[in-house]
Amino acid sequence: MQVTATEDVAAPIDHVFAELTAFDAIERQALRRGIDVRRKFRTGRPAIGDGWEAQFRFRGKERTASIELIGYEAPNLLHFSGASGGLETSTLIELVPLSPNRTRVNVTFKMAPKTLSARLLVQSFKLARSSINTRFKKRMAQYARDIEGKLAKSA
């Protein structure tokens, strides 16, 4: 199953990329949502192969997930791979400069089940595809407005 969203942000590409790679802030946001996140970085800045371990509750069960950075081309691309149980994920974030002060963000999230229980989970997501797409696009739009707000405050 694949979910995609495209959002235009009224900010330069370097600022948008800096916000997307502000992993400290993203980790704090995950902690506020009840997700226990641990870094697996070899250095202070993430490099290809570095990642995170996460623990969270989903559908009444404790789950663990590992996320790995598999592509990093500043300021145009971030690519993450993840695994939780029998579910493998891929998240591709592409940034395209539309003008000096406008950036298009394309996000593609793919899920590939590897076990029967993961197939059942993905099947339930497919049944709710339209509401998942709507929520994903709304969250992307809100994140874009947050980035624009941070740029306005710093200017």
Q: How far apart are CA 120 and CA 113, in angstroms?
A: 9
User: φ, ψ for residue 67 (rounded to 5)?
Assistant: -125, 135
Residue 5 — very low, low, confident or very high, per pLDDT cuts 50/70/90?
A: very high
State pLDDT tens for residues 36-72: 999 998 877 778 999 999 999 988 999 999 999 999 9
State pLDDT tens for residues 82-133: 999 999 999 999 999 999 999 999 999 999 999 999 999 999 999 999 999 9
Residue 130 burial (CB < 10 Å; 0-12/13-18/19+)? exposed
Q: How far apart are CA 65 and CA 55, in angstroms?
A: 6
**Domain count within the chain:** 1
Here the tokens at position 128 are 């709710």
Tell me the CATH number at 113: 3.30.530.20
**Spatial CA neighbour of 23 closest among 61, 65, 78, 60:** 78
Quote the pTM value: 0.92
pLDDT (0 to 100) of residue 73: 94
Longest dimension (CA), the chain: 51
Here the tokens at position 10 are 């009224």
- Where does the chain have alpha helices with state H? 13-20, 23-32, 116-127, 129-154
Enclosing domain of residue 144: 2-154
Q: Is 6 helix (H, G, I), strand (E, B) or coil?
A: strand
